[in-house]
Structure 1
Amino acid sequence: MNAVIIAVLVMLILSLMRVQVVLALAIGAFTGGIVGGLGVNETLTVFTEGLGNNATIALSYALLGAFALGLSKTGLPEVLVSGALKVTQKQGDTRKQALSKALLLFIIVTISIFSQNLIPIHIAFIPILIPPLLLIFNELRMDRRALASSITFGLTAPYILLPVGFGLIFHQIIQEEMEKSGLAVEMAMIPKAMSLPVIGMVIGLLIALFVSYRKPRTYENKDIASESEDIAVEFSKRSLTFAVIAIIATVVVQILTESMIMGALTGIILLFFAGSFSIRESDVIFTDGMKMMAFIGFVMITAAGFAEVMRKTGDIEKLVESASAVFAGNQVLAALVMLLVGLLVTMGIGSSFATIPIIATIFVPFAQELGFSPLAIVALVGTAGALGDAGSPASDSTLGPTAGLNADGQHNHIWDTCVPTFLHYNIPLVLFGWIAAIIF
């Protein structure tokens, strides 16, 4: 049996059984490597070599965590929370609470969307914004699965549709890889091809918010454990001003250098020289901040090792080829199978950006042979690549929301983030991507 299928299934089953995601990825990688004929020693070597592929991303997230905690010492999060409390302070007012929930969800979705396109900082906003708001979410009895669905939608749908920020990178990858595979397409075609799949995601978001997770859910009001709790937070107009300046500088530097590491370091240095924390406090802030985002870093590093083992087996190409050959001549079934293969590959790798080069090589010539139009092929490749990003235990689009919502230990990564986002986004993506491939 195909090593990729075995590895992904092992990883997903272990994750659903609440086995720690890093361990599940490692076991899945070794299982796939052995099934793929690499042997124990070669699998270990390839897995170890692959670990470094995401080391830069892991360090970026660790520094962003330190910046987020340093920012909390300026008092800016407290000001944001106080403002939100003014909206929710009347108890027993059902209409007011409903409006407050809607407003908070709208703000979170909007900020998440901006983080991909308008101000491309990706998940850096989550540790700054979400943990201070957990108390308000608890008072409103908001189901955190709805919040996870909102954040993940904002982290994925915009880059799939809009050629701005991270979306421009995603669209360029699609265009370049399709051209390498023998089909030149214009950038303007990609948003048109991806419009139907994103409409499916919008429908999934509405179902999550107004059907699946609309009922109240009770959480305990817990303090967010940290060694820095004994450091008093004293803020003033000056500290708040420097907090805003640090955020703007972080964003600008990240955009100019295309490095989250440089952006986070810039923000930390500005906060330090602004007097937001002292040298004595800096060690605690750095340590606790990195701890906050360490989970994401370890998962991303392990996922890189997993992906490298899958590539080395050669079974990704075999999976695509065999699936394509089974339904040769039947556009309807072939389109569905290609999308499902994309889902399987991305669920294992955890990155839609990394999936496109893998599947475009096989999908483009096969789809051309079956007579799909260029627009339909773009829809197939783009949707197949995006599938799994929302829902994969190894994706930063699910790891980010969990890092924020689980700051008090009451939000499970698999059952409260991955499963809800998989059901509400991957299923609509398959359905609407399938329709797009057929009608375009």
Structure 2
Amino acid sequence: MRFLHEKFRPTTSTLHRVVAHAYDRSPMYRKKMQSRGVAPHQIDTENDLPQLPFTTREELGSDPWALLCVPRSTLVQAHMSTGTTGRNPLYVAYDWEDLYTRGLMPLSSDKSVPRLLRIEPGEIVFNALPYEVSVTGLAIHRSVQDGIGACVVPLGKGGFYSEPLKALKMMREIGGDHLFTTPSYAVYLAELAGAPQAELKEMFGLKSIWLVGELCSDALRRRIEQLWGAPVFLYYGTMECGPVGVECAEQDGYHPATNFTAVEIVPLDEPMTDATGAALGEIVVTTLWRYATPLIRYRTGDLGRWDEQSSGSGGCARRLRVHGRLEDVVRVAGKVLHVQDIEQGLLDIPEVSSWFQLRPEGDVLCIVLPAQKGVDAAAVARRVQHWAVTYLGLDCKVEHGPARSYSGGKFMRVIRATQGEIK
């Protein structure tokens, strides 16, 4: 098989080349750099990045072609972000080199971080990610099929033709090795299959499951592992940035796609910490492999921190820990609460449904528990309230809702007053 990406090798000057390209081809980037008095020749290594201005979502949402640095006639693919309520969508486009030369390297090449996906040529990979509008499904498909040489079964994620029952039927009849999907869809497919863990493991025999696109605490990961009887690994990326980091076999933090993505953690205006007391910052990404629509110091809106403890299997000196989105932080009664910490604590209680939701109500946090067969709702509510007082220092309100499951799109753990219940 011909691996199209093998001719591309990043070097220490990759960052300089990308910045110079953006400066020469993009009026937006050139104006921003000139306003800071920065020229491309001053940027050579990641230590020079703080000299450059940030790129924000608001800038990109005002113009679909704001990032474009190549002629439109050379583009071969374009995507729109799935969008956030009340915001303009973002567009990202690719030329052929972005897709099939530089773009295959971050996930599929041992020149970046060694074999992080741990998928072999000839294996069968079920791709239960959306293929329409956004980039995720096609990006994973391309990396696995064209980059590694594995066989991809495009299940999709509940689209017009990708019915969940049909996906389960294909998985049973074809048989396969790996599954890519979102945390909520992994739970939903397992629940829909309606078989005990031992039978699910025998029925599908997956070697691994890879989760993309939604917050996933370690407690939720363990639930999914128990449901499917297979190890679960996390992949971190965004529609705007592409792949940013992947977990190794240790399942303990993301390994950045070294030499293909420059990742910074910048201080927050409002200091925040995670459950361990470690300071969090905003994750800022510069793409080193994309030339059609390069991103320079893009503020992702995601919270994270560096863990300097090295990993033997991942082959890199530090790991990235992602702690949810800044906009999803819950503020109640003067406290700053992180959804990931709450999810971790509540899902450690076996009787709490994986589909619980949070609804901030002024100085009160309401925890909505869906009804479940064979579960003493009152007893679960007491355990949840005790946990909230002990670990959050809050006397939370517990509300019992109707039974629920996956209902399409991205599962929203937090219900905002202006949104109602987001499906």
TM-score range, shorter-chain basis? under 0.3
Instruction: Give the TM-score taking structure 2 as reference length.
Output: 0.22
Report which structure shows greater RCO (CA 8 Å, sep ≥6): 1
Which protein has the bigger strand share? 2
Structure that is richer in helix per residue? 1
TM-score w.r.t. the length of structure 1 is: 0.21
